[in-house]
Amino acid sequence: MDVNGSVIVITGGGSGIGAQVGKELAEQGAKVVVAGRRAEKLDKVVTEIETGGGEAFGVPTDITDEEAVGNLMDAAIDRFGRLDVVFANAGAIADSLMLNTDKATGKVKKVMSTKRFKKVIDINLVGSFLTLREGARRMVDNGWKGLLLITSSINSTGQLGQLNYSSTKAALTLWPKILSGEFHLRKIGIRVAGIAPGYTATEILTGMNQDALKYILKDVHIGRLIEPSELTGTVKYIMENEAIDGTTIEVTGGLTFGPRARVK
């Protein structure tokens, strides 16, 4: 698939990885539809793309809203005539230990609330499901050979304090295999692939306590955050290579949990 001329819908396109990938693919000729909850953030990305001579528009969308996600895909098709890539990139965290104990008594003081657990499941899993389903059904009904892309995370391997988030990302890492198997069975020509970034320089991390950031970077071989631009290359690589299907590619800078304790 050529990036130039392709139509790509990106959820979470108003900030971070989604915004950067959208801007850079637009520079290379992709027609970009950015979706997210906040219109003003989408507008900013669209203006930047248009200023650079690219084509884009934004659709305010809550990805947990089934009807809104369908409308997003229809808007992309109405405007650009087709759908080549659906990038389920939006995600959220709400970290907490499952049990917080009182230091003095050792008894449970507070638990992770059901609401907090479910919020992340709803956005990361249900939202990604709706995004991919509503995109794929339109590709199939129109006979388009497209690509479904998913943002997983290195934290799919299990991160302390992220029982909810890591659970969703572990599941998302499996989806390319499950869905490309389904499409193979049904002779549907849609590829499915994921990217699993390591610690990436978006607001979530650059805004965090800088001492804590230095500490987690001790686990990263290249010793720095991944730049969102470095993920654009991976997205482009997946788009252009038909052989990449049914898999999730890690881009982590050599993150392994463990060295932190020994690296000075």
Q: Which residues bind ligand NAD (CB under 6 A)?
A: 11-12, 14-18, 36-37, 61-64, 89-92, 123, 127, 151, 153, 197, 199-200, 202-205
Is the CB of 6 or the CB of 151 nearer to ligand NAD? 151
Q: Least separation, in Å, of the C-beta of 37 and ligand NAD?
A: 5
Is the CB of 96 or the CB of 188 nearer to ligand NAD? 96
Q: Least separation, in Å, of the C-beta of 142 and ligand NAD?
A: 24
Q: What are the distances in angstroms from CA 159 to CA 7, 14, 21, 26, 219? A: 35, 26, 26, 34, 13
Residue 167, SS3 per DSSP: helix
Give start and end residues of each alpha helix (H) in the chain. 16-27, 39-51, 66-80, 114-120, 128-141, 163-185, 203-206, 210-217, 228-240
Q: Least separation, in Å, of the C-beta of 69 and ligand NAD?
A: 9
Is the CB of 131 or the CB of 180 nearer to ligand NAD? 131
Is the CB of 42 or the CB of 139 nearer to ligand NAD? 42
Who's near 93: CB < 8 A, 6+ residues apart? 120, 162, 165, 204
Strand partners, 9: 33, 86
User: Do residues 63 and 124 make contact, with C-beta atoms less than 8 angstroms apart?
Assistant: no
Q: What's the distance, CA 60 to chain centroid?
A: 17
Q: Least separation, in Å, of the C-beta of 32 and ligand NAD?
A: 14
Is the CB of 16 or the CB of 58 nearer to ligand NAD? 16
Q: Least separation, in Å, of the C-beta of 163 and ligand NAD?
A: 15
